[in-house]
Structure 1
């Protein structure tokens, strides 16, 4: 009973946080704004008001988004009874920071502080920086520690920054699946994510004319799409690939994504549909009273919301047509 009460309190807190998410009408008003300044003013009329008031100009919107992301993760950590669950979602920010720090380390320069993630990751940024100063990575999770050591050895032979991304992306999913071992809902979610990323990677690698040896290196672990599909169809027309996945859960994502890829050489539609697929997956489970589903839904909804704001602000700053911005927008959670 005590455990149920603990989770009931956490879910109740999540429900309150959900009420503070932006609604579709608020997003639509930002899209319809005449320019970036007006879009920011619309955002200032929402729960983001205090953060918007601190900005000196529209170009500082990334500072707002980064701060809001960090606050969201710190908030849920303050009340959720299973911190490890939050860490599963925070791991991607740890990996992002590791990529930035490793690339700076090998280039012999100071890392760009403006692109480092603060507050959202599970490993404090100062701790990561200390690991590099002391060249001691023992406190990293096993998969990430092994990846850093692999990169340090590989970079001596092949100083290619792409190696850092490839090895750490693979390690991230190994790390996530290890943490989610006893959480079927999260295993299913990240299996979908791995599949969708691997499909997108397949399209990019095929377009570059790279071979199976390269594709095999960059495919993520954890997906359940048969790798033979990617291997056998790498040299086949994309229509054959689309047909092969016609009975999979990703049929619409693949069909429409490939269509735009062929017409515009753009993966924008694919990325939007993939994000919508994942958001729909967690939204279907959001009403669970206990378990990880409500928290997972909120974290993904918050990240999605910040992505929507970024898409709108980038579009307005670059004076893209309203309809072009709208085409790129993901669904909203609420």
Structure 2
């Protein structure tokens, strides 16, 4: 891949970075008197569109703007499939459970993915698993059969979640861009750690963990599984030997504190892309920065809507890219 292939795209991204929300803007949102004032501040930053009246519509419009821009800049959007696989596998999970209930729940699907929602629903409805992408077909069949034969929704979720993580991990490596590779690695590692902690707290055995944990470079999943069987303290002791040693303190606080730490780590790792004039990295970083600010705005708006104290909301707010 020629490094100068995306020079124009990176130049456009540089101009768009100027409109990303900064930490000071997030402080303004946190200091707002209420939900409505937050919405007004966002509208002043040109968030949403003419039809977006509530938080959900505004955030959806912002996600759409991100991908519309990337679509204008990159001819082959498949290089960014790594960011969309989670949506695909969410939709697969939804379709299987919809089939199990023999009812339709169209509102549970996410439109932004690499596989058309109708294709997924039809494949599951007709049990034509071969109609799905190759990487999705086998876990879809396995999860479907598990749910229908045993009714074990958790096992169904595990099968699909691990398949999603494998897809994300492999896609992150396949493109050959360090930013995408980093995203895949951190996504899988953080998911594995969260799974291990939940398993330790609920007394899951090693067989469960072997099925649930997805391999990645920065964790030895066999050691993580053994630690989870021994307990949360053993997990923390193992993590002290990994690149995630700093996460131990956050794990002791709460799952949400750990998730915040993971998101902040990713933002810190990709921040140097602001000064990279070549390649896919700056575009990938922009997508992640937008996702991060949308997530943060959602946290603030949800807190304001539910009248949570400012400090309670602040504890969950992510670092900004700019």
TM-score by length of 1: 0.87
Alignment partner of 1:322 is 2:310:
yes
Instruction: Give the Cα–Cα distance (whole angstroms) in 1 for the partners of residues 143 and 121 of structure 2.
Output: 17
Rounded to whole Å, the distance in 2 between the matches of 1:242 and 1:131 is 42
Gaps of 5+ in 1: 261-265
Cα shift at 1:110: 0.8
Task: Report if the CA contact (8 A) 2:92-2:121 is conserved.
Answer: no
Aligned to 2:132: 140
**In structure 2, distance between residues paired with 1:6 and 1:292:** 9
8 Å CA contact 1:193, 1:278 repeated in 2:
no
With over 3 angstroms needed to count, the CA separation of the structure-2 counterparts of 1:228 and 1:239, relative to structure 1, is same
Alpha-carbon distance change, 178 to 229 in structure 1, aligned in 2, over 3 angstroms: closer
Q: Measure, in 1, the Cα distance between the counterparts of 2:12 and 2:298.
A: 26
Secondary structure of the residue aligned to 1:328 is coil
Return 5+ residue gaps in structure 2 as ranges.
none
* 1:19 equivalenced with 2:12 (yes/no): no
Match of 1:107 in 2: 101
Q: 286-295 or 181-190, which moves further after superposition?
A: 181-190
The correspondence of residues 210-249 of structure 1 with structure 2, limited to 5 A, is 210-236=204-230, 238-249=232-243
* Higher alpha-carbon deviation: 67-76 or 296-305: 67-76
Find the aligned partners of 2:293 and 2:270 in 1 and give their Cα distance.
15
Residues 186 and 266, structure 2, Cα contact 8 Å, conserved in 1: yes
Distance 2:61 2:155 in 1: 30
Alpha-carbon separation, structure 1, partners of 2:169 and 2:141: 20
Residues 1:188 and 1:308: Cα distance change in structure 2 (over 3 Å):
closer
Report if the CA contact (8 A) 2:200-2:230 is conserved: no
Separation in structure 2 between the aligned mates of residue 131 and residue 82 of structure 1, nearest angstrom: 26
Match of 2:193 in 1: 199
Pick the aligned partner of 1:304 from 277, 286, 292: 292
- For 1:189, the equivalent position in structure 2 comes to 183
Residues 273-300 of structure 1: CA distance to partner in whole angstroms, max 9, x if unpaired?
0111111111133422222211111111
CA distance in 2, matches of 1:167, 1:248: 26
Task: State the Cα distance separating 1:65 from its structure 2 match.
Answer: 1.6
C-alpha separation between the residues in 2 aligned to 1:289 and 1:172?
31
Instruction: Please report how far the alpha carbon of residue 205 of structure 1 lies from its aligned counterpart in structure 2 after TM superposition.
Output: 0.9
The number of aligned residues is 320
| Residue 257 of structure 2 is aligned to residue 257 of structure 1 | no
Segment drifting more, 234-243 vs 197-206: 234-243
Residue 127 to residue 75, structure 1, CA distance change in 2 (3 Å): farther
Q: CA RMSD in A?
A: 2.3
Specify the SS of the correspondent of 2:140.
helix
Distance, in Å, in 1 between the alignment partners of 2:115 and 2:35 is 34
Say if 1:233 and 1:241, in contact at 8 Å, map to a contact too: yes
Question: 1:54 is matched with which residue?
Answer: 52
Listed as ranges, the matches of 1:139-178 within 5 Å are 139-178=131-170
**For residues 80 and 177 of structure 2, what CA distance do their matches in structure 1 show?**
16
Change (3 A) 1:122 1:182: closer
TM-aligned CA distance change 1:258 to 1:103, over 3 Å = same
Report the Cα distance in structure 2 between the residues aligned to 1:80 and 1:20, rounded to whole angstroms.
20
2: CA distance, partners of 1:212 / 1:332: 38
Equivalent pair of 1:94/1:122 in contact (CA under 8 Å): yes
1:34 paired residue number: 33
Counterpart of 1:263? Answer: none
